[in-house]
């Protein structure tokens, strides 16, 4: 059982290191005009460590998100080569990029909850004598 925890801990450390290095590469060194303002939110590695999903948050509308995703997919080879050189490991997992919309969904939920609270307050004051 402790062996599994060790593997998971190692995978989490590698994912966090990948996230940090990806952020530096994407935000600072990538010169593709399609890639806008991007923040790497999470890297999730498969149990074997051969593949991983990179979740990025893009500042802008859906069209800008799609352009950024296309730019990141086009630069995937360059990004993997840079990661290989920086991290000094034998192999880098195959990375797929996804748009992380959790922030926008959270903001929308907050707005809806605020509206519900506002309506319930109005209903309470209207029914109070």
Residue 3: predicted pLDDT: 56
Any bridge partners for residue 39, and if so which? Answer: 57
pLDDT in tens, 25-58: 988 888 888 887 888 999 999 888 889 999 998 8
Instruction: Sort strands 94-99 and 38-45 into parallel, antiparallel or unpaired.
Output: unpaired
CATH number listed for the domain at residues 2-101:
3.30.300.20
Q: Where are the domains of the chain?
A: 2-101
Give residues with Cβ within 8 angstroms of 106, minimum separation 6. none
pLDDT in tens, 59-80: 888 888 899 999 999 999 999 9
């Amino acid at each position: 059982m402790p062996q599994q925890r060790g593997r998971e801990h190692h995978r989490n450390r590698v994912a966090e290191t990948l996230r940090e290095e990806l952020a530096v590469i994407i935000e600072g060194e990538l010169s593709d005009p399609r890639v806008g303002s991007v923040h790497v939110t999470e890297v999730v590695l498969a149990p074997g460590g051969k593949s991983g999903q990179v979740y990025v948050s893009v500042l802008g509308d859906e069209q800008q998100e799609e352009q950024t995703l296309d730019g990141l997919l086009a630069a995937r080879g360059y990004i993997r080569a840079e990661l290989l050189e920086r991290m000094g490991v034998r192999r880098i997992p195959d990375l797929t990029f996804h748009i992380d919309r959790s922030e926008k969904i959270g903001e929308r939920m907050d707005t809806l909850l605020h509206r519900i609270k506002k309506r319930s307050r109005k209903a309470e004051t209207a029914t109070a004598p």
